[in-house]
Each structure stands twice: as structure tokens, then as C-alpha cells.
Amino acid sequence: MPAAPITFFNRLTRSLETEAVYGEGFLRFTYENPLGALPLHALVKRAAFSNWYGSRMDAPASQAKIAPFLTTYGLDVSEFADSPDSFRTFNEFFYRKLKPQARPIASGDDVITFPADGRHLVLPDIANCADFFIKGTRFDLPALLRDAALAARFAHGSMLISRLCPVDYHRFHFPCAGTPGAPRLINGPLYSVSPIALRSRASIHWENKREITILRTQSLGDVLLLEVGATCVGSIVQTYTPGEAVEKGAEKGYFRFGGSCFITIFEPGKIQFSDDLIENSQAGREVYARMGDVAAHALG
């Protein structure tokens, strides 16, 4: 039986599209083939493997991968803040900056924006989601946060899961204005966050290495911002200053090489997600949208 393709709704084109999965053959063998379990647990999920691969992307020889990558995935180089020729390694290209006009920030005090480019899924009420990628699987918020009081407080909150593919812009930003605290690290393995992996192991989000930041806001209360590492992510780099107020759309940090994930969690009753996010998420389908575009509106 042929493998099921990964489809998503593209907000930019208003159409359903099939994802070109980077390393798809390896992912399907590792997560869908019983023979893939051995390399997955013995090597792939371990930090040493991702650190090794990340170091390869930092080597001068990796520069040769940039041009073929641009050609294969059709990236728009006119958005880049720097010329593709200026990147000394593939990793420098991977966490590239964009021109400010390439990602305008949606205006409005009640507007919450996407923190990153990627494919997005929403849980309007976390506690009432009974089919997270696998039928009968609930999102385990206590395991994700490793803080019982915080998990209880946000149990019926709203969650935005932003999945970044290797082809995406890999800097992440604040979805609303506020004052961020220091990030808290929770160590864990580094499974892939691709739907191919999540269909066999939905718990990846609350197992993988992650960092949690509390953003204190005037109208939304506390907003939880989580960077989730994944296979071949060399590191999560924070570029903001804890305790210093930020505007909506300000840069928070970036991921080094690999697919990764950013999770935003709001207190109960504070926001309403955009209709296309709700409709597609209910169908088990992600929505592709870019950082700075409208993700939700504040209530009240």
C-alpha cells in the first residue's frame, strides 16, 4: 500500500497542497517500518546524533548544499536579508534573517500573530482534544510543562502548534507584546516532529527537549511560549533579553539545522483562533501560514 501523503491547507494560495518532505524516505523507514525501531532508539532520537549532524552543517563543506537546496525547494531569495552567496555554511543559511518587509506584522491591539513560518494546528480547548494525531490520544499538558500548577491553570487553555520544516524560515518571534521571563529548559530526546513520526508516536511533543518562556501581557494574562527541539536540531538559540518588554513580532530566537516546533499556549477564554485554523484542525489538517500573519483575536 502506498504511503499516505502529507497534505495541508495553504493560506497563501487558499488551496490544499502536498508537502515535499525533506528526508521522507528515511523518516518513513524509521517511524513506519518495524525495522526502523532499532536505529530510531539506538541512534536517531539521541542528542549525540543531532549534534553530529548539526556539526556537519557548520562545516565549510556544507556551503555546497545551499544552491541545490534553493533549486529543489524553490525558496524566494529576494526575501533574504543577505545574499545566498554570503553564507559560509549551510547552518548560516538555515537560520538566515529576512528583510522586514518580507514578513509584515499584522496590526491591531487585539490581533495575535503567528510566531513562526510553518504548518499550524490548533487546539481551542486542550483538555477536550481526544484525537491528537492518533484516535483516543489526549495532549498531555502536565508532561509538556513539567509543572502541575501551571498545567492545571492552562488545562482548558488554547494551543497553537507551529511546525517548522527544514525549508522554512527558522527564526521565531513574539506573537503579542509583553514582558518575557527567562526560558526554562526541559531535557528530552530528539524525535522528528513530522506528521510521519507523530502518527506513530503522538507523545513526541511532550517528550522532546524543549524550552518554556512565560510572556506576561496586559490583556491576555500569561502566554506560554515553547520551543521544541527535533531530530538534527543543533540547538535552540534565544536572542531576546529576559525581563525586557517586547513588541509584537519582535525576534525571540532561532533554531539551528533541522525541523522543529514552536508551541503557544493561552489562558482559557482569552483568544479566538481564525476560522481556517479551527476548520482545518478539526479535519486533522495543518494550515501553512507565515510569521506575522493573523492567528487569533483577543476576546473581551
Question: Domains of the chain: which residue ranges?
Answer: 1-300
Tell me what the pLDDT averaged over the chain comes to.
86
Do 179 and 35 meet the contact criterion of CB atoms below 8 Å apart? no
Active site residue 260: yes
One of 62, 260, 274, 281 is an active-site residue; which one?
260
Active site residue 173: yes
Mean pLDDT is lowest, of 1-10, 109-118, 212-221, 258-267, for 1-10
One of 50, 62, 117, 162 is an active-site residue; which one?
117
* Residue 252 confidence (pLDDT) above 80: yes
Give CA separation, 228 vs 14, 186, 233, in Å.
Answer: 28, 10, 10
**Dihedral sign of CA atoms 230, 207, 173, 291 in order:** positive
C-alpha–C-alpha distance, residues 241 and 246, integer Å: 9
Collapse the DSSP code of 224 into the 3-class scheme (helix H, G, I; strand E, B; otherwise coil) and give the result. Answer: strand
Strands (E), the chain: 7-10, 15-18, 111-113, 118-123, 158-164, 171-173, 179-180, 184-186, 210-216, 222-228, 236-238, 251-255, 260-266, 271-273, 286-289, 294-298
Q: Which residue has the cell 496586559?
A: 218
Residues 6+ apart with CB under 8 A from 127: 138, 141, 155, 156
Active site residue 117: yes
What percent of the chain lies above the pLDDT cut of 90?
64
Model pLDDT, residue 192: 74
Buried/exposed 162-193: b ≥16 CB within 10 Å, e otherwise:
bbbbbbbbbbbbbbbbbebeebeebebbbbbb
One of 173, 194, 205, 293 is an active-site residue; which one?
173
* Residue 48 confidence (pLDDT) above 80: no
Residue 44: how many other CB atoms lie within 10 Å: 23
Report residue 152 as a C-alpha cell: 492545571
Phi, psi of 289 (to 5 degrees): -155, 165
Question: What are the tens digits of pLDDT across the range 153-203?
Answer: 999 999 999 999 888 999 999 999 999 999 999 988 877 777 777 777 778
- Considering only CA atoms, which of 214, 210, 167, 185 is closest in space to residue 70? 167
